[in-house]
Structure 1
Amino acid sequence: MRAVDGIVSRGLAWVVAAVLAASLLAGRGLWAQEEANLVTNPGFEVLDDAGTPLGWAVPKPVYSLDETGPRSGTRALKFSNDDPARYQLATCRIAFTPGMRYEFEGWVRAEGVQGDDSGATLCMEWYDGQGKYLGGSYPSGVKDTQGAWTKVRGTTGRTPDTAASVSVTCYVRRGMTGTAWFDDVTVRPYRAPLITGLTAGRYRGTYDGGEAEILVGLEVPQEGGRAVDIALTATLVDAAGTAHGQPRLLRPEPGLAVVRLDTTPLPAGAYTLRVAATGGDGRYSGQGQVRLRRVEGPVARRVSIDEFGRVIADGRPFFPLGTYWSGVSDEHLALYAASPFNCLMPYGAANPAQMDAIHRHGLKIIYSIKDYYAGTRWAPKAIQTVADERPAVEKTVLAYRDHPALLAWYLNDELPADMIDRLAAHQEWLEELDPDHPTWVVLYQVDEVRHYLSSFDVIGTDPYPIPSRPAAMALDWTRRTHQAGFGRRAVWQVPQIFNWGAYRKGAERETSRAPTALEMRSMAWQCIAGGANGLIFYSWFDLWKMNDVEPFEQRWAEVTAMAADIRRMIPVLLSVEPVPAVVVTGPAAVASRQWSLDGALYVLVVNSGTDEAAAQVALPGVLGSVTAEVGTATLDPAEKAVGVTLGALEPCVLRITLKP
């Protein structure tokens, strides 16, 4: 890339400005006002000869039409279900354009909806020509709206080029009962903000001089088959709003801009880099910002993230290897501490005695304050309004920030992107209140991770594919999560060890299954191959919950055997020694990652597919020795290469030495 003052290339017009134009709009999606609603019969007013809403698949008896109290018109769609094992959907196919994003919303009224999930809601999904599921968007629902109509809204990622059908669905989440009504469903193309997210090149944007590099993600719309021209501006301001320095915009790769600025002449203090974009004669806009801090020398922190994405805890590299807990159980800590795991993430708040016990057992805790948002499902009673959030956060953080067991703060568990301002505020509070510990966020919204960059230090996503989807979902999601952070953000992934039966009832609970030992091993190493710097498995408490179907002792033995291989390899996973030029080739299902440690080369190859796969490891010198440190793959050594034949889902870590 090269620095430029102004370029028009690939449909992008770049302008560097000293001051951010005040007229630029906020970075949020806009309804395409010239576009019609894509939903056929959005209010369920038009019926076919059978009395069914035209354009909708409405399975009886769960769904019916109700003319008492619609939001508009003469009727609404009613859901009524008293059997948690019955799961039916009311669906409408829409006309769509591959590659387009969509915004959807509907009005929902719920009464007495019960169960473990979020309630009555809408979703959008897409499938290929063979009916294979390709993806979707799933906003949270409502359980009891006290007679009021409530808007449920979501946005999708780009629909895949391979999609053959797209649908919008009104439904109540699986395993739930009660009554709900739906009306006035809308789907329109979504004009996404042009700027998707920014990240600084250093932890929390802290610089003691030198050049700062800030990466800016762009979502460039297409009109008439060509990219819309975009104008960008960038400025750096201090806390008083005074502009500093001369930010330079660099020619981007597709979907990327780079801002560089010299921090050396800046006075010590806090700064904000602001970037804004407009395009399409004002039809598109976006803005983003990132906090930077100029300091006089290196900042000592108890726990931080280094430039390699590693945790540095008390001055030493640390690889988080843990599980989710419901609450801290003193009786379980000893069993857990004897396992390969080194940390835990309990949903329930740990008290001082439990924090002491965690430390006494040589473990670390990721402390959850994920529910400290007014109006969310599990918000503490003390948090009734947004104004209550900061005092509650401050009380908890001040109570535990100095405890030696603390590893990080768990700041968000899958809250929607339309809460980003509040999520980012909580991140800012944590940076102020506890500069010594990072924050961690976990999302299922893998296509939206970049929109959350201002709200976390460390990111994770939670692929739970077994048994209904391929185990390769672990690799796919980790790669996408790593890329969403521009490869600059630490990734602690959440692989699956639980049985979905823990969240099902009746026959579904009895017939569901947990991942096999091989599936768990494969998914864990897939995450590492995809760029993960830590693994927090979901979940310890579900192993106990399913004890009557799958004995805990058996499952725990499988889980700990899988974790033992990872724990044994942690010195390798944390190594940042230079890696010789190694080229790994093989089918798309094979993923690889390499390290060097103490004169040996370590190569991870993992097969994410269910067919045998052969890979070739080309070496930069003559092979001295090769052994499989993890796995039992068939090896075929040659003078300057090693062939590896992997069974279905098999991971393998090779230790290779080269001749002098």
Structure 2
Amino acid sequence: MNFIQISIITFTAAILIPLVGFNKYKYSTSQDLINEEDTVITSVKSNNINNTLQVKKRSDGTFIVNGKPFFPIGIYHRSQQSKDWNTTGFKLLQDLRKISAAGFNMMHPQVGGNYKNDIFFFREAQRLGVYILPSFSYEKRLEIVNQYKYQPAILGWDIADDVDHPANQFTPEIISKWHQKIKAIDPNHLTYVSGNNTNRIVPFMNSADTIGFQSYPIDQDPNDKKPLRKNYYTFLSISGEKNQNFNKSIIANLQAFAWENQTPTPNELRNMTYSALINNVKGIMYYSYFTGDTWSLSEQTELWLGLKSIISEVKVLTPIFLEGNLTRLNTQVDDLYCGYWEYKNSVYIALISTSPNKLIKVDLPIYPMNNGYLRPMFSKYPSGMVFTRGSLTGLIKPGDVHVYKLS
């Protein structure tokens, strides 16, 4: 029998629980974690408002959690779509630990199917330092928010998925009312909706605290020969530059699954990630670690390892995203995109090619500096640019991303 050690902040002591027995544990009304024989295993202190996250937004759209800026690096998880409901709670807990170990700081699960399993899951997420942005039944949304709003792992609430899809018949007025009702009973957490159409999403941009925008271009349309270019312009179009009244708190929902047979390659996923980042998104959430019995990212070894490497990069650069000053260059070259952040007397440059087949010549002015030392941020990835007399020059291969520090 395998055992795990659970060490949760509100527990009075660490405990050993057999994994195979997860589903048999339950909570009494006094919040004691007990087994079926009512033998007290450990006492869990009741949650109160003092343990609740205080989640706000800065004027630039950056998330503020308990007074500190926060950049979400998250992933979806559709555990309740599994046919084997008996293992749902167990699998969710297992996957949470793998997701945490990979470096993610946020997870988007489905909750509301089993109160005992949900509470156990929330507390393990808190122990691991993973914030939870859950989805749940629309019909029970107020009930579920009231049940779980004091859980310290909760970052916010997904109140509507595919909000701009005509089949769902949502309107901005409907979503705004849902938002207002949830904020009335829980002002401390964010509301979140997601969509996928750059035109239809516009009326919904201010109907919730934050907007997730889905970009899943790989193998979606066989006639689209430049899916990476499409991904870039997707985030450019909703970045808010053309409409300053847009909600600035955009979370990029990026493709980590296959529509049919073709998954993104690790290089494509890295390209999509940096294209979103230089368009000033305020967080990233990949879709999806698990989608019932049709997709499991952990079984896609190459893609999962590639994504973990990307996450390690994003974590290194997070302070720059939070506090740096972003400039996006007009390269005037098709399929070549560049953004740089000024941060603590250095410039951090992301250079992206979305071309499927062309080598692109680069000659770009980096205005903050006329000279300096240029070095690649991540040695395992492509580089080769030089910086002289204020310009970044060199060649970039199809689909590549270069990331540099200039100081």
- TM-score, L = length of structure 1: 0.46
Among residues 571, 576, 588, which one is paired with 2:319 in the alignment?
A: 571
SS of the aligned residue for 2:372 comes to strand
Q: 1:320 aligns to what? A: 72
Return the offset for 1:355. Answer: 0.7
Matches within 5 A, 1:588-627: 588-610=334-356, 611-615=358-362, 616-627=364-375
1:427/1:454 contact within 8 Å kept: no
Highest RCO, 1 vs 2 (Cα 8 Å, sep ≥ 6): 2
1:587/1:614 contact within 8 Å kept: no
For 1:557 and 1:543, the matched residues in 2 are separated by: 21
Return the offset for 1:334. Answer: 1.9
Residue 540 of structure 1 aligns to which amino acid in structure 2?
Answer: Y
2:73/2:285 contact within 8 Å kept: yes
For 1:621 and 1:561, the matched residues in 2 are separated by: 30
Residue ranges of structure 2 left out of the alignment (5+ in a row): 1-51, 80-88
SS of the aligned residue for 1:654 comes to strand
Match status 1:520 vs 2:269:
yes
Residue ranges of structure 1 left out of the alignment (5+ in a row): 1-299, 373-382, 384-391, 502-511
Q: 2:259 aligns to what? A: 500
Residue 98 of structure 2 aligns to which amino acid in structure 1?
Answer: L
Q: 1:629 to 1:332 in 2, by over 3 A?
A: same
Return the offset for 1:619. Answer: 2.7
Q: 1:471 aligns to what? A: 228
Q: Give aligned-pair identity as a percent.
A: 19
Matches within 5 A, 1:182-581: 302-327=54-79, 329-349=92-112, 351-369=118-136, 371-372=137-138, 383=139, 392-415=140-163, 416=165, 418-420=169-171, 421-467=173-219, 468=222, 469=224, 470-483=227-240, 486=244, 488-501=247-260, 512-542=261-291, 545-546=294-295, 551-576=299-324, 578=325
For 2:98 and 2:396, the matched residues in 1 are separated by: 34
Return the offset for 1:656. Answer: 1.0
1:330-363 deviation per Cα after TM superposition (whole angstroms, max 9, x unaligned)? 1222222111211110134371111111111110
Return the offset for 1:527. Answer: 1.1
For 1:583 and 1:566, the matched residues in 2 are separated by: 21
Aligned length: 326
Residue 263 of structure 2 aligns to which amino acid in structure 1?
Answer: A
1:633/1:647 contact within 8 Å kept: no
2:264/2:303 contact within 8 Å kept: no
SS of the aligned residue for 1:522 comes to helix
SS of the aligned residue for 1:489 comes to coil
Residue 541 of structure 1 aligns to which amino acid in structure 2?
Answer: F
Q: 1:519 to 1:565 in 2, by over 3 A?
A: same
SS of the aligned residue for 1:367 comes to coil
For 1:337 and 1:605, the matched residues in 2 are separated by: 29
* Larger strand percent: 1
Q: 1:430 to 1:617 in 2, by over 3 A?
A: farther
SS of the aligned residue for 1:561 comes to helix
For 1:523 and 1:542, the matched residues in 2 are separated by: 21
SS of the aligned residue for 2:393 comes to strand
For 2:282 and 2:382, the matched residues in 1 are separated by: 24
Among residues 621, 643, 650, which one is paired with 2:393 in the alignment?
A: 643
Matches within 5 A, 1:167-186: none
For 1:485 and 1:435, the matched residues in 2 are separated by: 27
Return the offset for 1:546. Answer: 4.5
Residue 145 of structure 2 aligns to which amino acid in structure 1?
Answer: V
1:475/1:529 contact within 8 Å kept: no
Q: 1:632 aligns to what? A: 382
SS of the aligned residue for 2:201 comes to helix
SS of the aligned residue for 1:643 comes to strand
For 2:296 and 2:135, the matched residues in 1 are separated by: 26
Return the offset for 1:544. Answer: 7.7
For 1:635 and 1:451, the matched residues in 2 are separated by: 42
2:196/2:213 contact within 8 Å kept: yes
Return the offset for 1:609. Answer: 2.1
Return the offset for 1:596. Answer: 2.0
Return the offset for 1:540. Answer: 0.2
1:415-456 deviation per Cα after TM superposition (whole angstroms, max 9, x unaligned)? 346522221110111222221111111112321122113421
For 1:528 and 1:453, the matched residues in 2 are separated by: 19
Return the offset for 1:313. Answer: 0.9
For 2:317 and 2:292, the matched residues in 1 are separated by: 25
For 2:336 and 2:144, the matched residues in 1 are separated by: 44
Q: 1:412 to 1:557 in 2, by over 3 A?
A: same
For 2:343 and 2:121, the matched residues in 1 are separated by: 37
For 2:388 and 2:348, the matched residues in 1 are separated by: 17
1:594/1:604 contact within 8 Å kept: yes
For 1:323 and 1:642, the matched residues in 2 are separated by: 34
Structure showing greater Rg: 1
For 1:432 and 1:635, the matched residues in 2 are separated by: 53
Q: 1:527 to 1:644 in 2, by over 3 A?
A: farther
